[in-house]
Amino acid sequence: MNAENKHNTYNTLFHWHSFRLKLVFEGIGVGTITGLLIVLYRIALEKATFLLTDIYKTISVKPILVLPWIVTLIIIGYVVGLMVKHEPMISGSGIPQVEGVLLRKLDMIWWRVILGKFIGGILSIGSGLSLGREGPSVQIGAAVGQGFSKVFKRVKIEEKYLMTSGASAGLAAAFNAPLAGVMFALEEVHKNFSPLVLLSALSAALSADFVASGYSCS
């Protein structure tokens, strides 16, 4: 396995110019998928927020419904707790976990993180807990980048670029701010700068923003 990775890394470095172009197209792919997921995430959060507002309006009119609502919140908290226990990588904002994976200090199973963060975030934010969409969007994007790398069997260094691209795309799609997504991914997530990182992160952020802009305009 190590010999195969070294061989793949050698081929990557040898075909440097084509590798840069490939990273751009891969960044577009990661950004598009991330943009679609984050748009769905934003729609679900908005629906959950509207539902929460209606629930509290109803409770203000019928205070007797407070007890059933408290029981519902306890059940939601219990379910989220089980999810975090089953997959600890979805706890918290998600940004430190992404940094740990890039530093090879933590392991992340990409599809479990996407499902867990998506569903857990909707349950948590939708029930009124204090949790922004920045961290979950970044982690979901990074998980998409890792998944892209695993599915297409990319080398480790390319996987780091794709995860950074996904993190950039996640933030860009969450707030329709592609440049902010790129700068955040470079400075906070990847903690390193190179033209390759910039190319992949920028292409992913712009693609994700394009997808998210279609939702914002609708």
Average pLDDT of the chain, as a whole number: 88
| pLDDT of 10 | 53
Asked if 171 contacts 126 with a C-beta cutoff of 8 angstroms, the reply is: no
Domains present along the chain, CATH in parentheses = 30-217 (1.10.3080.10)
pLDDT tens, residue by residue, 166-200: 999 999 999 999 999 999 888 888 877 788 889 89
| pLDDT of 11 | 55
Token pair listed for 54: 């209606």
Token pair listed for 28: 């577009």
43 burial class (0-12, 13-18, 19+ CB within 10 angstroms)?
Answer: exposed
Kindly report the pTM of this predicted structure. 0.88
pLDDT above 70: residue 64? yes
What's the chain look like in SS3?
Answer: CHHHHHHHHHHHHHCHHHHHHHHHHHHHHHHHHHHHHHHHHHHHHHHHHHHHHHHHHHHHHCHHHHHHHHHHHHHHHHHHHHHHHHCHHHCCCCHHHHHHHHCCCCCCCHHHHHHHHHHHHHHHHHCCCCCCCHHHHHHHHHHHHHHHHHHCCCCHHHHHHHHHHHHHHHHHHHHCCHHHHHHHHHHHHHCCCCHHHHHHHHHHHHHHHHHHHHHHHC
pLDDT tens, residue by residue, 7-39: 555 555 555 567 788 899 999 999 999 999 999
Token pair listed for 183: 């700068």
Phi-psi region of 87 (alpha: psi -120 to 50; beta: other; left: phi over 0): beta
Distance CA(79)–CA(76), nearest Å, equals 5
